[in-house]
């Protein structure tokens, strides 16, 4: 069983309904048996570092899944997703930090990584620089060319709690076989 508290507003540093900016640091506390951050195996890091896309699943207010294909990055064992302020995935993770994603090798669609975890932080800090880094990786351009005036970028930092590395044998059907 996992326990988690309501998100804390970064502006007020308390539970807040006044700021409708969806910029929260989810405060998550786990029971001792669950929720430990899993390291990303090198095979997953290599897949993320390639020009691969991630299918990111977040939860809508009614609990239904919402899936978006997006660019993906990592910083050590933390998975990074960059989006714009107020996007559906931004609003979803601000409300509920649970998240899952797959990263699929475009050269071999059966070579994929599966990651489940929780959003550790949602921040503006470094998001503009990060989207430029992603533009270089995915578009070959030094600056992200689709910037819109008044639209801020948001960096979503994900702590993996379950990682299934590429070409992992799942035929045993046991939970806990993650790497």
For the four alpha carbons of 76, 12, 63 and 174, in that order, the dihedral sign comes to positive
8-9 vs 28-29, strand pairing mode: unpaired
pLDDT at 16 over 70: no
Kindly report, residue by residue over 20-57, the tens digit of the pLDDT.
444 444 433 333 334 588 999 999 999 999 999 999 99
Rounded to two decimals, the pTM is 0.75
At 69, is the pLDDT very low, low, confident or very high (cuts 50, 70, 90)? very high
Could you give the residue ranges of the DSSP H alpha helices within 22-147? 42-49, 88-95, 127-139
Question: Rounded distance, CA 142 to CA 164, Å?
Answer: 32
Could you give the residue ranges of the DSSP H alpha helices within the chain? 42-49, 88-95, 127-139
Question: Rounded distance, CA 127 to CA 119, Å?
Answer: 15
Domains and their CATH numbers in the chain: 38-164 (2.30.110.10)
24-25 vs 65-71, strand pairing mode: unpaired
């Amino acid at each position: 069983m996992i326990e988690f508290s309501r998100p804390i507003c970064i502006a007020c540093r308390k539970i807040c309904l006044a700021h409708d900016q969806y910029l929260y640091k989810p405060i998550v506390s786990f029971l001792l048996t669950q929720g430990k951050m899993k390291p990303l195996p090198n095979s997953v890091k290599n897949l993320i570092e390639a020009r691969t896309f991630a299918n990111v699943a977040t939860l809508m207010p009614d609990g239904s899944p919402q899936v978006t294909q997006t660019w993906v990055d990592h910083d050590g064992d933390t998975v990074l997703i960059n989006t714009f302020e107020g996007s559906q995935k931004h609003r979803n993770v601000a409300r509920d930090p649970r998240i899952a994603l797959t990263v699929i090798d475009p050269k071999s669609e059966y070579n994929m990584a599966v990651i489940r975890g929780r959003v550790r932080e949602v921040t503006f800090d470094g998001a503009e620089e990060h989207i430029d880094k992603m533009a270089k990786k995915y578009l070959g351009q030094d600056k992200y060319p689709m910037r819109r005036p008044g639209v801020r970028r948001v960096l979503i930092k994900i702590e993996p709690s379950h990682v299934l590395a590429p070409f992992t044998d799942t035929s045993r059907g046991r939970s806990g076989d993650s790497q």
